[in-house]
Amino acid sequence: MIQKTSPFPDRLSKYLQLGSHEKARQEAQFLWEEALVLLKAANWRSLLTVDEFFDVFHPYAESSQSIRRLLRCAREVWLLAVTAGDGIERRSREYLKKGEAFRGYVLDRMGSFLAEEQIRQVDKIISEESTGKGYKTTRRYSPGYRDFPLEAQVVFVDLASCAIPELRLTSDFLLVPEKSITAIKGVLE
Amino acid sequence: MGTLHGLVFPINALPGCQLVKEGIDRISFDADVKSEAVIRYYERVDADLLFYFSDIVIQAEAMGAKIKFAPDAMPCVSETAQEIISPSPSRVGRMEVNARVLRRLAGVFPHKLRSTLVYGPFTVAGQVAGEQNVLRATIDNPDELEGLLEKTLECAIDYGRYLLDAGADVLWVSDPLSALLPPELFPRFAGDYLARLFAIYPGPTALHICGDTSAMIEGMIETGARGISFDQCMNLLAVEDRVPENIIIIGNLDPVEVVEMMNTEQVAAQTADLVSMMGIKPNFALSTGCALPPSTPMDNVMSFVEEGRSRLALLAPHAEDLAALAATVHKGDRDGAATLVKRVLNRRIPARSIIGSGLMRAVRKASARYEYRLCFLPEVLLIVDAFYQGYKCLETKIDAGREGTPQIVLGTVKGDFHEIGKDLVRIMLEANGMRVLDLGVNVDGARFTEAVRLFGVSVVGLSAFTTAARRQLSGIIDQFRQEGLSHVSILVGGAAVSEKVARDVGANGYGRDAVEAVKMIENILKRSRASNDDRKHPEAFSSVKS
């Protein structure tokens, strides 16, 4: 997991497309330190049987062909939710409002990177645990992918509220804080 | 550095044909008529470098190709050479005509530089043996092609020496066909021969290759030419760093779309813009991106030269300071930008020059580099930030600031609250001098159309980050059409949008990112201004000959 003191990851340079511009790299280092201070990471996961999953996600899951295909040979389904908190995105907006486009943009991308890093870590732990028990897993799949409707976010937010109380939805089912991700991951027979 | 630096001239002198009664066929053969045409031309067009009305096929003709002549068109190859001849220029009638014209130009304009116009060995090989044959031979039969190139090189060297002996000061070589060579083959079939051609003359030399030469700039420099003339399709800001300071960057106002097709005011404005960007470079010569067509209105050529010279003269005393400012902004140095703006203000450099040739130049250079895939978006944004820091120090010094009627309306569509992408577009537009009304996020069709009506705006940018927002786009665009606002250009962008989506929803364009969106909007506003100017000046195109 990324800690408050984590050094600037090599992958982040590529993710941000900083190129070789010296000043851009210096500024990004400063923003990384700021992002880590503002990071309010939280995550949650829960394991359901396939029947429980379709029950809890009624009617969104059974109406989705892509979900049915993903879970065709699954015995269980992990639910995942992570957030980087709202501090980074709020600071990013402040920068943009002040007309500081680089800082606003780069900090926003760092927020996305941190949220993605978290869910990758959770995903990795689940995969390793499953492998230890002799099971394979599916890839991660999130609401909004293909025909898995965004409305399914309602269920995630509801279930994850104990671990991530600040997770909310807009009227159009977008996650707030924006730097949050939800997903499912099947455990195969 | 060579004597080309700081000169102002259009390439060739073809519009001179309008100033004599005789047709181009007669001009091509008669030294008296050609001299009259070019002397009259340069009496009106006060260019710094003089050409003698050259046609591209003169060397091919001397080597045996058959040429078609007509009164109203430039000579062209009608049949490739049956047998390759090694000519002696003084015995080739039309080459001798050009030498005589050069001598007359020297007599009438003794203080001005005169140029040869020699065509490159690869181009002439294409004319005498067929362009497709020559291009194929680079793969199938390179040895035979090299034999032919030795002969076309010999002809080019003889013709070049002959013209230099006749009083030319500059060895100018054009090699348009070499633009079609794969960059890795350029040195072997074009560059090495051009190098041997340039080696005959220790004075100023220049190489012009038409089209996009971005992949062969280093090869062009290795020919030893002291000046590189760039086609109008090239963005000089994107390539300037690849040209050493001792090589002159020559270019590159569009000879057709601008100098031939626009009116004199528009030509002047485009010239001023080019000078504003490039005039601070010590190794820059203002020219056209290629030869002006024979039908170019004479007033437009004069407008180009006069405006260009006066703008360069205004900029010259401040060029060093403005270049330092542009370089500081380009480094993304916010504090340095502010400090330098204050310093140049103290030196009484006009605020408009500080913005155009200092601050905005850096932003446009960053955008150009981004377009050529030489940098990524964060670098552009860092430069935009430095621009703003410098601009803040100027806000009280400029009369017509950003306040005023908006030119563009932006917003994230209903159901979508993402603002970063839209904000970046706004910031980039403002940094490029455009006035923006930002309606914010979650904006419905009615608010967009109301804003457009209220301010008479002609460009709208719709941002959609989510798939739900993407579904709103066609409804909003339909609303514009239904409410009689079909003239409004609607651009879409955002993570949920692609070029295909843009087409499907009926948008006028798709901006992949902030830089591309700005370029598209700039072009729309430029076209819109041009069409407004044409309505004000209905005679604008009447002087253009078909």
- Nearest-CB residue to A19 (from B376, B418, B423): B376
Structure confidence by residue, pLDDT tens digits, B40-66: 999 999 999 999 999 999 999 999 999
Residues 6+ apart with CB under 8 A from B297: B15, B260, B264, B543, B544
Split at pLDDT 50, 70, 90, the class of B428 is confident
Q: SS in 3 state form for B7-20? A: CECCECCHHHHHHC
Asked whether the predicted pLDDT for residue B508 surpasses 80, the reply is: yes
- Nearest-CB residue to A21 (from B332, B418, B420): B332
Does residue B75 have a cis peptide bond before it, meaning omega lies within 30 degrees of 0? no
- Nearest-CB residue to A102 (from B382, B415, B466): B382
Residues in chain A: 189
How many domains is chain A partitioned into structurally?
1
- Supply the pLDDT for residue A10: 87
Structure confidence by residue, pLDDT tens digits, B392-419: 888 766 554 455 788 899 999 998 888 8
Residue B29 burial class via C-beta count within 10 angstroms: exposed 0-12, middle 13-18, buried 19 and up:
middle
Split at pLDDT 50, 70, 90, the class of B545 is very low
Structure confidence by residue, pLDDT tens digits, A154-178: 999 999 999 999 999 988 899 999 9
Is A52 contained in some domain? yes
Is A56 contained in some domain? yes
- Supply the pLDDT for residue B397: 67
How many domains is chain B partitioned into structurally?
1
Range with lowest mean pLDDT among A161-165, B6-10, B160-164, B344-348: B344-348
- Supply the pLDDT for residue B517: 87
B515 shares contact with chain A (CB less than 8 Å): no
Q: State the pairing for strand pair B66-70/B73-79.
A: antiparallel
Do B512 and B232 touch, CB atoms closer than 8 A? no
How many angstroms separate the CA atoms of B170 and B172, rounded? 6
Is A33 contained in some domain? no
Residues 6+ apart with CB under 8 A from A148: A60, A61, A64, A66, A67, A141, A142
- Nearest-CB residue to A174 (from B332, B382, B466): B466
B418 shares contact with chain A (CB less than 8 Å): yes
Hey, is B282 helix, strand or coil? coil
User: Which CATH number covers residue B487?
Assistant: 3.40.50.280
Interface test with B, best of A13, A15, A21 (most B CBs within 10 A): A21
CB contact under 8 A, B468 and A172: yes
CB contact under 8 A, B428 and A24: no
Split at pLDDT 50, 70, 90, the class of B512 is confident
CB contact under 8 A, A102 and B467: no
Q: Give the relative orientation of helices A101-132 and B377-392 as an angle to the nearest 10 degrees.
A: 150
Asked whether the predicted pLDDT for residue B536 surpasses 70, the reply is: no
Tokens found for residue B382: 């860092």
How many angstroms separate the CA atoms of B340 and B354, rounded? 10
**Region of B511 on the Ramachandran plot (φ > 0 left; ψ -120 to 50 alpha; else beta):** beta
Residues of A with CB under 8 A from a CB of B: 16-19, 21-24, 27-28, 92-93, 96, 99-106, 108, 144, 150, 170-174, 178
Kindly give the residue spans of alpha helices, DSSP state H, lying in B331-484: 334-346, 351-353, 360-371, 377-392, 420-431, 445-455, 467-482
How many angstroms separate the CA atoms of B270 and B307, rounded? 10
How many angstroms separate the CA atoms of A73 and A76, rounded? 9
- Nearest-CB residue to B381 (from A101, A174, A178): A101
Per the structure, the complete domain to which residue B445 belongs is given by: 408-536
- Supply the pLDDT for residue B477: 95
- Supply the pLDDT for residue B542: 35
Asked whether the predicted pLDDT for residue B447 surpasses 70, the reply is: yes
- Nearest-CB residue to B377 (from A17, A22, A100): A17
- Supply the pLDDT for residue B417: 81
How many angstroms separate the CA atoms of A26 and B119, rounded? 49
- The pTM score is 0.84
Is B442 contained in some domain? yes
Query: What is the rounded average pLDDT for all residues in chain B?
Result: 91
- Supply the pLDDT for residue B448: 96
Q: Which residues does chain A have within 8 Å of residue B378's beta carbon, measured at their own beta carbons?
A: 16-19, 21, 24, 28, 102, 105-106
Q: Give the relative orientation of helices B360-371 and B264-278 as an angle to the nearest 10 degrees.
A: 90
Hey, is A187 helix, strand or coil? strand
Give one DSSP letter per residue of B435-457, joined into a string. -EEE--SSB-HHHHHHHHHHHT-
- Supply the pLDDT for residue B229: 98
Q: Which residues does chain B have within 8 Å of residue A96's beta carbon, measured at their own beta carbons?
A: 419-420, 423-424, 427
How many angstroms separate the CA atoms of B306 and B3, rounded? 20
Residue B120: Cβ within 10 Å count: 28
Split at pLDDT 50, 70, 90, the class of B309 is very high
pLDDT over 70 percentage in chain B: 95
Does residue B255 have a cis peptide bond before it, meaning omega lies within 30 degrees of 0? no
Do A83 and A177 touch, CB atoms closer than 8 A? yes
Is B275 contained in some domain? no
- Supply the pLDDT for residue B502: 92
How many angstroms separate the CA atoms of A137 and A71, rounded? 10
Residue B3 burial class via C-beta count within 10 angstroms: exposed 0-12, middle 13-18, buried 19 and up:
middle
Asked whether the predicted pLDDT for residue B313 surpasses 90, the reply is: yes
Is B423 contained in some domain? yes
Q: Which residues does chain B have within 8 Å of residue A106's beta carbon, measured at their own beta carbons?
A: 378, 381
CB contact under 8 A, B428 and A101: yes
Do B129 and B208 touch, CB atoms closer than 8 A? no
Asked whether the predicted pLDDT for residue B1 surpasses 80, the reply is: no
Is B487 contained in some domain? yes
Enumerate the β-bridge partners of residue A182: A81
- Supply the pLDDT for residue B539: 42
Q: State the pairing for strand pair B408-412/A175-176.
A: unpaired
How many angstroms separate the CA atoms of B19 and B17, rounded? 5
User: Which CATH number covers residue A55?
Assistant: 3.40.109.40
Q: Which residues does chain A have within 8 Å of residue B427's beta carbon, measured at their own beta carbons?
A: 96, 99, 101
CB contact under 8 A, B382 and A16: no
Q: Which residues does chain A have within 8 Å of residue B416's beta carbon, measured at their own beta carbons?
A: 172, 174
CB contact under 8 A, B423 and A144: no
- Supply the pLDDT for residue A171: 84
Per the structure, the complete domain to which residue A130 belongs is given by: 45-83+124-188
Structure confidence by residue, pLDDT tens digits, B82-118: 999 888 877 788 999 999 999 999 999 999 999 999 9
CB contact under 8 A, B378 and A102: yes
Is A22 contained in some domain? no
B468 to chain A, closest Cα gap in Å: 8
- Nearest-CB residue to B384 (from A92, A101, A172): A101
Q: Which of A120, A76, A108, A131 is nearest to A178 (CA)?
A: A108
A86 to chain B, closest Cα gap in Å: 14
- Supply the pLDDT for residue B543: 34
DSSP state of B291: B
Is B450 contained in some domain? yes
Structure confidence by residue, pLDDT tens digits, A118-131: 999 999 999 999 99
Structure confidence by residue, pLDDT tens digits, B150-209: 999 999 999 999 999 999 999 999 999 999 999 999 999 999 999 999 999 999 999 999
Structure confidence by residue, pLDDT tens digits, A86-113: 999 999 999 988 888 999 999 999 999 9
Give one DSSP letter per residue of B49-79, joined into a string. EE-----TTHHHHHTT-EEEEETTEEEEEEE
